[in-house]
């Protein structure tokens, strides 16, 4: 009974974080959605930050199923693509939690959550190994630091381009994913990342911003 209730709470939080974000979500809304008193909810999760951490652990555990589906693929880039496509599918379906990056109390809670940190390290280690293997095979530019590629892939989980393309009603979800995936992979595989070109691009961006 308790596990079933916690599962219902986590699923509710997951959807609210995806659709409203952490700052807009309230504990009262979660309690009302699950159909329990606020005091009862706090018996399971003592804070709003703990609710968010539980939702992120839920997502991390879902990723384990993706690892299993990727095992039969010998090609590292195809494995990476499959994981990123899954992440973008969750985003378009409104099931990918959205968390602020500059919230110190939330960051502390996440850092102190062993299940979350273990899941994050597992995801990072697996993707990192695939990225390095893809670079060794020449599928991803070896001029890019592997950590930069990893963060670029992580960013797809909160990429506003997905929603912008979907709102335009010109493409269905599969087409949106294909477009974003193509632009992401092109940047990682075919762009000239020489120092001079990078500096020129950064200067151009600064001029546009000014």
Work out the pLDDT band at 190, boundaries 50, 70, 90.
low
pLDDT in tens, 111-150: 999 999 999 999 999 999 999 999 998 889 888 899 999 9
Q: Is the pLDDT score of 64 beyond 90?
A: no
DSSP per position, 69-97: HHTT---HHHHHHHHHHHHHHHHHTT-S-
First to last CA, the chain: 58
Q: Is the pLDDT score of 210 beyond 50?
A: no
Tokens of 75: 């090609």
Specify whether the backbone of 94 is left (phi greater than 0), alpha (psi in -120 to 50) or beta. Answer: left
Q: Which residue has the higher pLDDT, 51 or 205?
A: 51
Count of residues making up the chain: 210
pLDDT in tens, 70-83: 777 778 888 899 99
Residue 10 · residue 58 · CB < 8 Å:
yes
Q: State CA 80 to chain mean position distance.
A: 13
Match domain 62-209 to its CATH number in 1.10.3470, 1.10.357, 3.40.1350, 3.40.1440. 1.10.357
Does the model's pTM come out above 0.85?
A: no
Among 122-126, 155-159, 162-166, 195-199, the range scoring the smallest mean pLDDT is: 195-199
DSSP per position, 90-147: HHHTT-S----SS-HHHHHHHHT-HHHHHHHHHHHHHHHHHHHHHHHTTSS-TTS-HH
Q: Which residue has the higher pLDDT, 189 or 137?
A: 137
Enumerate the domain spans of the chain.
62-209
């Amino acid at each position: 009974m308790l596990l079933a209730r916690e599962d219902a709470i986590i699923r509710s939080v997951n959807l609210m974080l995806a659709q409203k974000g952490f700052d807009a979500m309230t504990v009262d809304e979660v309690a009302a959605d699950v159909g329990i008193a606020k005091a009862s909810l706090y018996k399971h999760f003592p804070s709003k930050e703990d609710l968010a951490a539980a939702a992120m652990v839920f997502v991390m555990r879902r990723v384990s199923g993706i690892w299993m589906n990727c095992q039969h693929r010998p090609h590292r880039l195809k494995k990476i693509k499959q994981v990123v496509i899954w992440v973008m599918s969750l985003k378009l379906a409104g099931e990918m939690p959205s968390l602020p990056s500059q919230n110190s109390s939330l960051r502390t809670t996440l850092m102190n959550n062993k299940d979350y940190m273990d899941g994050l390290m597992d995801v990072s280690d697996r993707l990192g190994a695939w990225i390095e293997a893809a670079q060794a095979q020449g599928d991803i530019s070896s001029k890019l630091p592997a950590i930069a590629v990893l963060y670029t892939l992580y960013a797809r989980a909160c990429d506003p381009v997905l929603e912008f393309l979907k709102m335009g009603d010109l493409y269905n979800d599969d087409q949106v994913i294909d477009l974003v995936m193509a632009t992401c992979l092109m940047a990682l595989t075919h762009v000239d990342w020489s120092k001079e070109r990078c500096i020129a691009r950064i200067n151009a961006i600064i001029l546009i911003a000014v």
